[in-house]
Amino acid sequence: MVRAIIRDPILLSMKAAEATDQDLSDARDLMDTLKANAEVCIGMAGNMIGVNKRMIAVGGMVRFLMLNPRIRAKRSPYHTVESCLSLEGEREAIRYQEIEVEYQDMHFQKHRQTFHGLTAQIIQHEMDHLDGILI
């Protein structure tokens, strides 16, 4: 189900709680909502559709979902400018070219994977949302 995009800075500033198997229907909604906004948006965090749980949907060439992602390693910082569907304008951020992330999939299988470039940047931006950080 496609959900409305949250733009209230107070709601977006809250830290998200761990995702559990009770949250899978919301996780599917997050994927649906990212798909519906694919032309304007390449990533989405749970709280952007009003679900304050640690889940992110990552777009681009392939679309995938991460539950409870944690960055375990990061390399090569750089300065960049980003925009966000929930916010007006663009903001500066420091990101890492390469990150190693631990996360769970929709079956709560654990993965540890390395991401580079744009995909890594999307993950970092969406993970900031989970901690209530707005870029």
Specify the length of the chain in residues: 135
- Using the minimum distance from each CB to Zn ion, give the nearer residue, 27 or 84: 84
Segment (H or E) for 83: strand 64-83
> Is 19 a binder of Zn ion (CB under 5 A)?
no
Which residues 73-132 are close enough to bind Zn ion by CB under 5 A?
84
State in angstroms the smallest separation of the CB of 109 from Zn ion.
26
- Residue 126 among the catalytic residues: yes
How many residues touch Zn ion under the rule CB under 5 A: the total is: 1
Q: Report the residue number, 6 or 107, with the smaller CB distance to Zn ion.
A: 6
Backbone angles phi, psi at 99, to 5 degrees: -135, 150
Two structure tokens written together for 109? 């299988």
- Using CB under 5 A, list all residues that contact Zn ion: 84
